[in-house]
Amino acid sequence: GVSRNVAHRVSGHQTSSPEPVAVVAIAPGGTSEEGAFHRQFGAQHVRGEWFVMCPEIEHEVDRIRALGKWWLT
């Protein structure tokens, strides 16, 4: 999802998940980039912000992590 306050966003998602929610990567961008992720991983989409983990998503998470956190400074 898109948020300027990640902790608040995670808290909101936690209330709708029976499992603990954790941030695995933070990517720069906005609603356009989020829409691209939803289209790219549409086959793994469950509902709302939830996706089934797969090798392609794991690869994308690794790619985002490799970018570092330069956009948060």
Sequential pLDDT tens for the chain (73 residues): 777 787 888 788 788 778 888 888 888 888 898 899 999 999 999 988 888 999 999 999 888 888 876 555 4
Torsion of CA 34, 15, 60, 70, to 10 degrees: 70
The whole-number pLDDT of residue 69 equals 65
**Global confidence as pTM:** 0.72
Q: Residue holding tokens 């330069």?
A: 70
Residues 51 and 9: their CA atoms lie apart, in Å, by: 16
Query: SS3 letters for the chain?
Result: CCCCCHHHHHHHHHCCCCCCCCCCCCCCCCHHHHHHHHHHCHHHEEECCEECCCHHHHHHHHHHHHCCCHHHC
What's the pLDDT at 39? 94
